[in-house]
Amino acid sequence: MSLALYEMNFDCGRNGSLNGLFIEDKEKIAEVIGAEVHFGEVLGKHSDISGTIEERDLQILSEDAEKIDWLLGLMGSFTISGYNPMAYLEEDEEE
């Protein structure tokens, strides 16, 4: 597993944007580029934010294993701050 610290900036048009700082496996991130996410009404009533995760929405801040291990130990979670798109992926509906 090759973990990295990511920053997300998901543009929501005139509603604003969603930001997040999280740790994830780089291979998993590569798999979700192009996937649909649904955040719900996180920017207020009737905002219903959803869209497609694109490469431009995510930026690697660090791949330093020591720093990432320290953050995981300190926070106890892969989500450091804000929104983690991995928690909002839309599952394919099976018929």
How confident is the model over 18-46, as a mean pLDDT?
94
**Residue 17 pLDDT > 50:** yes
pLDDT of residue 92: 56
Please report which confidence band the pLDDT of residue 95 belongs to, taking 50, 70 and 90 as the band edges. very low
Contact 3, 68 (CB under 8 A): yes
| Cα(91)–Cα(63) distance, integer angstroms | 28
| pLDDT tens profile 39-92 | 999 998 888 999 999 999 999 999 999 999 999 999 999 999 999 999 999 875
Model confidence pTM above 0.75: yes
Please give the Cα distance from 11 to 16 (Å, whole number). 7
Spatial separation of the C-alpha atoms in residues 53 and 30, rounded to whole Å: 10
